[in-house]
Amino acid sequence: MTQRELAEPRTAAPGRSTTPRSGPARTRKRRVGAGTRAPWWFLLPALAIFTLIVVIPSWRGAFYSLTDWDGLSPQFNFVGLDNFFKVFRDSAAGASIMNTAFYAVGIMVVQNFIGLLLALGVNSAIRSRNWLRVLFFAPAVVTPLVVANLWQYILSPQGALNTALRAVGLDFLAQDWLGNAQLALPAIISVVVWQFAGYSMVIFLAGLQSIPEDIYEASSLDGAGSFKTFWNITRPLLAPSMTINLMLSLIGGLKLFDQVLIMTQGGPGSATESLSTIAYKDAFQFQLFGYSTALTLVLTAFVAVASLIQFTLLRRGEDK
């Protein structure tokens, strides 16, 4: 079929001619295809590479999750859903699911709270606002591995944080932050927050800047205080930015890998292990290839649910 055959019927279709040719952009929505001859085969390279690199391997992953394949030998057995039962029975996997939930929720809450405060701060009339925006966002473009290595030192027993605490007489607070099973996970969350709070900030900032100034003037004439103004005006108008931020950080937290592997390798014990780190270790260190793909499918389910919630919330927000 030629692209002409694909494109022409659109223009000839009865009922479509009611839309004026030079109407405003909005009314064109249904008319697309009329004056364009976008060749369908332009799609092929993208389709081919996406299918080969993402779709087929993902299906193969789903297939291997039903086997006991070790990733190397030519033979493997079907084990049905055993790998999935094992995910929910295995205490290491269970711990990593809990940890992953902690990472995701912890990062989501703290990063966006700080990001919002930073955004409100740099959206004011302060003279240093442009400098501060550039500074706060800078860590977000840096390699996560580099940030993790830097903080690994800062949080080590002889590291900068403990040195600073001792210097101000808070010796009793000094400790092995990443070697403590209770503190290691919150410590990793803090590092991620330090790196990406500026990312949340720029998304909130874009939202804040789209709020017309006169709404605030009217509110201040009415004598509303700054908290009341924030709660009644800023908060509802920031809802779309909030949705994007919450979901981006949630999904980022669910997928957390680099920071954990660098700072703690999942330890002490399995206190900081995430779904991604155990899936990686099971596949490449323990030759549990089938089991590893089952773990990644569980992760995929979490990420897909989070993404679908995001789409739904955003769409609902746009309708209003």
Partner 1 sequence: MKRYTLKTGVLEVVMILVALLFAAPVYVLLNTALKAGGVTTSLAPVANPSFDNFVTAWVSGGLGPAMINNIVITVVSVFLIVVISASAAYPLARITRTWSKLAFAFFLGGLLIPGLLALIPLYTTFRDLQLIGSIWGLVIIYVGSQMPFSIFLYVQFLRSLPLDFEEAATLDGGSPFRVFWQVVFPLMRPITGTVVILNTITVWNDFFTPLLYLSGSGTNTIPIAIYSFTGQYVNQWGTIFAALIIGVIPLLIFYFLLQRSIIKGFAGGLKG
Q: Which of residues 39-58 bind partner 1 (CB under 8 A)?
A: 39-40, 42-43, 45-47, 49-50, 52-55, 57-58
**Cβ at position 212, least distance to partner 1 in Å:** 12
**Cβ at position 180, least distance to partner 1 in Å:** 19
Whose CA is closest to 90, among 225, 273, 238, 302? 273
**Which residues make Cβ contacts (< 8 Å) with residue 130, sequence separation at least 6?**
none
Q: What is the C-alpha to C-alpha distance for residues 297 and 227, in angstroms, rounded to an integer?
A: 44
Of the candidate spans 81-89, 94-102, 156-164, 178-186, the one that interacts with partner 1 by CB under 8 A turns out to be: 156-164
Q: What is the C-alpha to C-alpha distance for residues 155 and 179, in angstroms, rounded to an integer?
A: 9
Within 235-264, which residues bind partner 1 (CB under 8 A)?
Answer: 240, 244, 248, 254-255, 257-258, 262
Whose CA is closest to 137, among 62, 195, 206, 51? 195
> Does 234 interact with partner 1 (rule: CB under 8 A)?
no
Dihedral angle sign, alpha carbons of residues 251, 255, 257, 260: positive
**Cβ at position 270, least distance to partner 1 in Å:** 18
Encoded tokens for 13: 């279709």
**Cβ at position 204, least distance to partner 1 in Å:** 9
**What character string, x for contact with partner 1 (CB under 8 A) and - otherwise, covers 183-212?**
-----------x----x--xx-xx------
The answer to whether 263 touches 180, Cβ cutoff 8 Å, is: no
Q: DSSP letter string over 13-57?
A: -TTGGGS-TT--GGGGGGGTTSS----GGGGHHHHHHHIIIIIHH
The number of residues that bind partner 1 (CB under 8 A) is 97
Encoded tokens for 253: 């937290």
- Choose between 85 and 284: whose C-beta lies nearer to partner 1: 284
Of the candidate spans 94-102, 104-112, 172-180, 284-292, the one that interacts with partner 1 by CB under 8 A turns out to be: 284-292
Within 76-115, which residues bind partner 1 (CB under 8 A)?
Answer: none
User: Tokens 């009922």, residue?
Assistant: 15
**Cβ at position 67, least distance to partner 1 in Å:** 11
Q: What is the C-alpha to C-alpha distance for residues 192 and 3, in angstroms, rounded to an integer?
A: 48
- Choose between 67 and 270: whose C-beta lies nearer to partner 1: 67
Of the candidate spans 96-104, 139-147, 178-186, 263-271, the one that interacts with partner 1 by CB under 8 A turns out to be: 139-147
